[in-house]
Amino acid sequence: MANHVEIHVPIAPGDTYPWVDEVEDFLYGLDEQGVIEVFDDAEEWGDTYIFFIAGAKEATMIEVASRVAALDGVPAGVFARITDEKAADFGMGRRVELRR
């Protein structure tokens, strides 16, 4: 089991992010259902907005990340990073391309 998955959503400087609330609602809904755990607050980092999930098998977390990529209004180019607590910084794990 992967320790956690970072879901990276591309952002552009000066853009607004109306989709952030939709993604958070979606992820917290899955958390309440026991599918995954949202383990940290989402945050802007460089040219991405990162959401953090854990508490499930890697395949389940990648499926959830793919569902995030497919949500209405979420920009194209979403990818996941499979990582663990030993990572020195964000974006250090294996990159997984996601399809809409």
Q: What are phi and psi of 14, to 5 degrees?
A: 85, -10
Rounded Cα distance, 75 and 84, in Å: 26
Residue 90, class by beta-carbon neighbours within 10 Å (0-12 exposed, 13-18 middle, 19+ buried)?
A: middle
Per-domain boundaries in the chain: 4-97
pLDDT 10s digits, 21-43: 999 999 999 999 999 999 888 98
CATH code given to domain 4-97 = 3.30.70.260
CB-based contacts of 42, cutoff 8 Å, min separation 6: 20, 23, 24, 49, 50, 51, 52
pLDDT 10s digits, 66-98: 999 999 999 999 999 998 666 545 666 788 999
